[in-house]
Amino acid sequence: MQEMGFFTDTTLCIGCKACEVACKQWNQLPDDGFSLTGMSYDNTGTLGASTWRHVAFVERTEPLPGQGSPRDGIEAGAGAFAELRPLGQPAPTSLLHDVAPTHLADVPVALGPSQQALGKFSWLMMSDVCKHCERAGCLEACPTGAILRTEFGSVYIQPDVCNGCGYCVSACPFGVVDRREDDGRAWKCTLCYDRLEGGMVPACAKACPTASIQFGSLADLRERARNRVEQLRARGVADARLYGETAESQPGTEGLHAFFLLCDRPEVYGLPPDPVVPTAKIVASWRAMATGVVSLAALALGAVLSARRA
């Protein structure tokens, strides 16, 4: 069976939080409170035991090139606003279909003073989720076998086997895995394993109205992502880049099954620039310790021999 995953195109995210709601509804997760954190339009703050999808809002005091409606200018051509047909949706997403520039006049609409002022400000929005790493630190650290790799390539925590030790929490380089306060067990995104078994698309991808969250086989998603980066760079988004799409680009995790398209450095989105699972360096650690032990033994032996000669 081919490996499945998510490709999240942050340039299409509008911050609607439909993915958060769909995730909570399908997985019957409790709410996280209904008050804003005071940090932008965010009431969840971060991923956690009861928040398996989190939409991050990043405010920047600099413009993001290549954005806007075709009514602001048609230089990019029809290809820049090409329709997407995500897996599980029979027709193009309504938003992208509506902005297709084929039916618009050839004269761009002039921007007013308020629009010009907003040109110096930009939002970066990203729906964050468990990355389902190819080399998952949580899976390697689990002492009970509660965490396993499914036939779809996702990383799944079995709640009936988890003993709440918390080793997986510290082993995750992204800080995704969390424990519930009531029972202490670890929880995270399951890639909607129950839906996949039934031939359905994950709830978050199904609910996304702009195809920011795209689900499918990893091979297809990687090709689609590379094409999207080329498209954005042609529109002037020079900082467009992929995050964790292959083992070569992110050797510390050997690649992600939920990778992202970003328009700025990973740190701006709250992602580590070079994540490494703790077990990836365990061999080097043992070698360093062995070298230290041998060095100390040699020094001790040398001291004994010197004392005897004296």
pLDDT in tens, 23-73: 999 999 998 877 777 777 787 889 999 999 999 998 888 877 765 544 444
- Integer Cα distance of 59 and 65 in angstroms: 15
Pull the structure tokens for residue 242.
């992929």
- Integer Cα distance of 7 and 215 in angstroms: 6
How confident is the model at residue 111, as a pLDDT?
52
Residues contacting residue 39 through CB under 8 Å, at least 6 positions apart:
45
How confident is the model at residue 292, as a pLDDT?
84
- Dihedral, CA of residue 136, residue 10, residue 190 and residue 181, to nearest 10: 90
User: Helix, strand, or coil here: 262?
Assistant: strand
Mean pLDDT for all residues in the chain: 83
Give the helix, strand, coil percentages of the chain, each rounded to 5. Answer: 35, 15, 50
Pull the structure tokens for residue 307.
């004392």
pTM: 0.77
How confident is the model at residue 236, as a pLDDT?
86
Q: How confident is the model at residue 128 (pLDDT cuts 50, 70, 90)?
A: very high
Pull the structure tokens for residue 287.
């070698």
Is 143 in contact with 134 (CB distance < 8 Å)? Answer: no
Pull the structure tokens for residue 18.
């439909």
At 143-200, the pLDDT tens digits run 999 999 999 999 999 999 999 999 999 999 999 999 998 889 999 999 999 999 999 9
Q: According to the per-residue pLDDT averaged within each range, which of 31-40, 239-248, 295-304 is highest?
A: 239-248
How confident is the model at residue 51, as a pLDDT?
95
Per-residue pLDDT averaged across 227-241, rounded? 91
How confident is the model at residue 21, as a pLDDT?
95
DSSP string across 58-75: EEESS--TT-S-GGG--T
Q: How confident is the model at residue 294 (pLDDT cuts 50, 70, 90)?
A: confident
Count of C-beta atoms within a 10 Å radius of residue 125: 20
Q: How confident is the model at residue 116 (pLDDT cuts 50, 70, 90)?
A: low
How confident is the model at residue 115, as a pLDDT?
56
- Is 263 annotated in a binding site? The answer is no
What is the bridge-based pairing of β-strands 258-262 and 155-157? unpaired
How confident is the model at residue 226, as a pLDDT?
94
What topology does CATH give the domain 4-276?
A: Alpha-Beta Plaits (3.30.70)
User: Helix, strand, or coil here: 152?
Assistant: coil
Residues contacting residue 58 through CB under 8 Å, at least 6 positions apart:
40, 123, 124, 125, 126, 264, 268, 269, 270
Is 141 in contact with 18 (CB distance < 8 Å)? Answer: no
How confident is the model at residue 32, as a pLDDT?
82
How confident is the model at residue 121, as a pLDDT?
76
- Integer Cα distance of 273 and 264 in angstroms: 11
Q: How far is CA 245 from CA 135, 180, 219, 262, in A?
A: 13, 30, 10, 12
Angle formed at CA 192 by CA 58 and CA 213, multiple of 5 degrees: 35
Token pair 């004269």 is found at 107
Q: How confident is the model at residue 303 (pLDDT cuts 50, 70, 90)?
A: confident
